[in-house]
Structure 1
Amino acid sequence: MRQTFYQYLMTKRNPNDHGEVANFAQNAFLDQAFPKQATDFEELSSYLEYNGNYLPSMDIFDSVWHDYLSDEHELGGR
């Protein structure tokens, strides 16, 4: 079964890391409306563009999305 983007993003949470990706993960965790079941780029991108005021740049999302797809590909889409 394919991991949701949110599940993948939560693996990037680290209270000791104050980098952009860790901050994105922490803020998504705190965002109660984040689409936790989503696996679709357009759905997530749209949500973040309108509601992700905690995300300083969509480039951060794009980078994590790319990593998410790469990891899924390596795992065979499980």
Structure 2
Amino acid sequence: MTQRNPNSANEVEQFANNAFFDSAFPKQSQDFEEISKYLEENADYLPSMTIFDAAWQKYQDAMN
């Protein structure tokens, strides 16, 4: 959610915007598998899982 930017064309930021408005998205989860599975099954707003992978990497980098 820290990557949100409603005025950006950046794919990661757009993904964060869309996930923010997805009421079922597991926003509090820190489990890659749980979030990845949710996105694969439910997130029609995510055109490619590589976008999630990039967002996850940014999240991991920020946590370390």
Output the TM-score relative to the length of structure 1.
0.77
Greater relative contact order (Cα 8 A, min sep 6): structure 1 or 2?
1
Alignment of 1:1-78 (within 5 A): 10-73=1-64
Decide which structure has the larger Cα Rg and report it: 1
What fraction of aligned residue pairs are identical, expressed as a percent? 59
* Stretches (4+) displaced over 2 A: none
Structure 1 spans left out of the alignment, 5+ residues: 1-9, 74-78
Structure 2 spans left out of the alignment, 5+ residues: none
Q: How many residues align?
A: 64
Superposed CA RMSD in Å reads 0.9
Output the TM-score relative to the length of structure 2.
0.92
What is the CA–CA distance in structure 2 between the aligned matches of 1:18 and 1:25, rounded to whole Å? Answer: 12
What is the CA–CA distance in structure 1 between the aligned matches of 2:61 and 2:2, rounded to whole Å? Answer: 15
**1:4-59: per-residue Cα shift (whole Å, max 9, x none)?**
xxxxxx22111221221111011101100000110000000000000011000000
